[in-house]
Amino acid sequence: MSSSDPKTRPKPVTRPPAPVPPSSWAKRTGFKPKFSGETNASDSGQIALPPRSRENENQPDLEAGRARPVPPVVNGEQPVSEKGPAEKDQSVKKRREADGTNKGSSAAAANGHTVNNGAAPQPQQPTRRPSRNEDVVDVLPQNVDDEGFVGRHSHMKYELRDTPGLVPIGLYGFQHYLSMLGSLILIPLVIVPAMGGTYEDTANVVSTVLFVSGVTTLLHSFFGSRLPLIQGSSFVFLAPALAIINSPEFRGLNGNNFKHIMKELQGAIIIASAFQALLGYSGLMSLFLRLINPVVVAPTVAAVGLSFYSYGFPQVGNCLEIGAVQILLVIIFSLYLRKISVLGHRIFLIYAVPLGLVITWAAAFLLTEAGVYSYKGCDTNIPSSNIVSEHCRKHVSRMKHCRVDTSHAFKSSPWFRFPYPLQWGTPVFHWKMAIVMCVVSIIASVDSVGSYHASSLLVSSRPPTPGVVSRGIGLEGLSSILAGLWGTGTGSTTLTENVHTIAVTKMGSRRAVELGACVLIVLSLVGKVGGFIASIPEVMVAALLCFMWAMLAALGLSNLRYSEAGSSRNIIIVGLSLFFSLSIPAYFQQYGISPNSNLSVPSYFQPYIVTSHGPFRTKYEGVNYIMNTLLSLHMVIAFIVAVILDNTVPGSRQERGVYVWSESEAARREPAVVKDYELPFRVGRIFRWVKWVGL
């Protein structure tokens, strides 16, 4: 037949490949994309799809199994939607309308079929272009992953401006602060004993930390970034504080070492905080933001957590049956029991740290009362140097670290105590310590930038503008000045654990954080609260810190989800940053120390005495102090290596995962963004002439 003649046979019409049902590929492989502010997990190169026709294909749609045009980036969000089949057509139509690509194509074209061009054209209905805010809501990812890092709006119980009532906000605010208990109270339990302070001094510093944390959180919520972020003593300041505490000039002090060293810390923190405030309010932070990207933030924050490995488990080993059980309980609660819900709340995941602390403390109390750690003729109140009996010398360490009744902080604490400025005396200022803290304040700002971006994607309509970020950093500087005046021992900055807590508790209400801050201020006035926290045994503190520092390292590395984590460029940069952040400080810390040297500090504090034996030995003592101290800090090395490599090695914006902040002009035109970030009480109108701060 003529129709079978290959010369006369009509050529078949090329059709796009038939769509794969959304449930087939995704459900077979268990694929769940990790959404970010800048790039899609499907573009990371980690998952290879079978070969398919490249015709008319710009970007693979892994969930739908078909090609889709590349939509423009809106506010740092790739408009990917993971909806059911019933909503898929409507979602695609809305997305195309928002992107300006819906030019009269029919639903058949959206499903991958060709359009009959010979049919009579249908009259196009005038389509109302959605507002920018509606576009964001429509194209944001609606899926919820296992760990709570999800698209916003669909999963949050309370968003940024929600005020459902006093009781719900109070309960969620209490839950929010309780889940971050470890980050708020553990730093004083480390630095005060290192300064030679008593249990009463520890209780007073804990009360001061709670008071300053409540005040600075309120200030940040009203006049800072306005995101629901708790402020407090950050682990970023812990390592430099320990380095200053173990300076050679403080080893031969007579009298009250605690107050003298605390005044030195206060002076360094005040100067560094003023530098951070200047960095924010001058607008320099807006320029500095161009250098800060996820590939820089990830290893820098991770190095903060990894730097305390010499303190964590060596302290736990002093009473292994208590410390190891504490770590195991927290691991079981946060991992194996994390999906168990009670009244809709994942109590084991949210309260892993306080639950583990309460159970272990109760077990240690029962063992102490049962006489397990009591030895005949031995007394823990007698100094080790005065103990004559060999039997008591053998068990004195076990008695001090395993018993829960060795601290008298709770009994000696007053019921009411008001923390006041300069309570330890007038701060002492030394330029070499101040310069060290100024560099650390830059690291704290980098940490806060990552927290601002991640939390805004969860609770807000848009990421903040660079001006809002600068305003937040400037207020953190002012908050740290308050911390220096009150004498907390460290600066006050945004706690990194905020992002994890918001994602887990699904509570993003600004009012809940403010109410919780007020409760924190009230608790700080009750002296017994500080005494109770100060009486936590050192072994349990070290066990909790092991978990908290591991969480901090993981949260730092989680910033890589905003970049192409599978890129060889990023892998090499992060790997080099982490390795050198451990290796270079080790060189400085071990330089000039003989294997048989008898050091006057405990082994877990030896990394922080580098100023007395570091490789920098010029004729300028202050320069030696600064260089030996800074280059022995893991986070400083990680930041230097990462920021140089990330900003000099070529790479696309998508590959690097460059943070995308809202534009000021566009933000001012959107009521939702203005309500999210505008200063209250008409304060913003006074500072409208300051173009580089705020919206």
Mean pLDDT of the chain: 77
pLDDT value of residue 377: 65
Query: Among 100, 109, 103, which Cα is nearest to 124's?
Result: 103
CA distance 514 to 252: 44
Specify the DSSP class assigned to residue 290.
G
Residue 68: in which H helix or E strand, if any? strand 66-68
Q: What is the mean pLDDT of residues 30-43?
A: 41
Spatial neighbors of 224 by CB under 8 A, at least 6 apart, are 471, 472, 475, 476
If 0-12 CB within 10 Å is exposed, 13-18 middle and 19+ buried, where does residue 689 land? Answer: exposed
CA distance 250 to 156: 50
CA distance 464 to 229: 14
Choice among 389-403, 504-518, 521-535 with the minimum mean pLDDT: 389-403
User: What is the pLDDT confidence band of residue 501, given thresholds at 50, 70 and 90?
Assistant: confident
CA distance 443 to 531: 32
In the 3-class helix/strand/coil scheme, how is 345-392 assigned residue by residue? ECHHHHCHHHHHHHHHHHHHHHHHHCCCCCCCCCCCCCCHHHCCCHHH
Is 551's pLDDT higher than 70?
yes
pLDDT value of residue 169: 84
pLDDT value of residue 602: 72
Half-sphere exposure of 571 (CA within 13 A, CB side): 7
User: What is the pLDDT confidence band of residue 12, given thresholds at 50, 70 and 90?
Assistant: low
Q: What is the mean pLDDT of residues 429-446?
A: 94
Q: What is the mean pLDDT of residues 106-124?
A: 42
Query: Would you call 536 helix, strand, or coil by DSSP?
Result: coil
pLDDT tens track for 599-656: 666 777 778 888 778 888 888 888 999 999 999 999 999 999 999 999 999 999 999 9
CA distance 459 to 159: 5
pLDDT tens track for 184-240: 888 999 999 888 888 899 999 999 999 999 999 999 999 999 999 999 998 999 999
Q: Using alpha carbons only, how large is the chain's radius of gyration in Å?
A: 29
CA distance 462 to 77: 10
Specify the DSSP class assigned to residue 3.
G
Give me the amino acid identity at 456: S
Residue 60: in which H helix or E strand, if any? strand 59-61
Choice among 150-154, 385-389, 430-434 with the minimum mean pLDDT: 150-154
Query: Among 585, 228, 203, 573, which Cα is nearest to 416's?
Result: 203
Is 682's pLDDT higher than 90?
no
CA distance 437 to 270: 9
Is 397's pLDDT higher than 90?
no
Q: What is the mean pLDDT of residues 266-278?
A: 95
Per the CB < 8 A criterion, the answer to whether 520 and 213 are in contact is yes
Residue where the block lists tokens 């923390």: 419
pLDDT value of residue 382: 60
pLDDT tens track for 285-296: 988 999 999 999
pLDDT tens track for 513-530: 999 999 999 999 999 999
Q: What is the mean pLDDT of residues 405-418?
A: 85
pLDDT above 70 as % of the chain: 73
Spatial neighbors of 532 by CB under 8 A, at least 6 apart, are 409, 410, 413
pLDDT value of residue 626: 92
pLDDT value of residue 295: 95
pLDDT tens track for 118-147: 444 445 444 444 443 333 333 333 343 443
In the 3-class helix/strand/coil scheme, how is 228-288 assigned residue by residue? CCCEEECHHHHHHHHHHHCCHHHCCCCCCHHHHHHHHHHHHHHHHHHHHHHHHHCCHHHHH
pLDDT value of residue 381: 62
CA distance 212 to 199: 20
Query: Would you call 292 helix, strand, or coil by DSSP?
Result: coil
Dihedral of CA 544/545/549/555: which sign? Answer: positive
CA distance 637 to 440: 11
User: What is the pLDDT confidence band of residue 692, given thresholds at 50, 70 and 90?
Assistant: confident
Residue 657: in which H helix or E strand, if any? none
Reported in sequence order, the residue ranges of 426-540 that DSSP labels E, i.e. its strands, are: 492-494
Query: Among 278, 258, 687, which Cα is nearest to 445's?
Result: 278
pLDDT value of residue 669: 87
Is 384's pLDDT higher than 60?
no
Per the CB < 8 A criterion, the answer to whether 491 and 187 are in contact is no
Helices (H), 487-619: 498-505, 510-524, 527-534, 538-557, 568-590
pLDDT above 90 as % of the chain: 36
pLDDT value of residue 9: 52
Query: Would you call 492 helix, strand, or coil by DSSP?
Result: strand
pLDDT tens track for 237-246: 999 999 999 8
Is 106's pLDDT higher than 70?
no
Per the CB < 8 A criterion, the answer to whether 269 and 480 are in contact is yes
Is 55's pLDDT higher than 60?
no
pTM of structure: 0.76
Per the CB < 8 A criterion, the answer to whether 176 and 513 are in contact is yes
Choice among 471-480, 505-514, 553-562 with the minimum mean pLDDT: 505-514
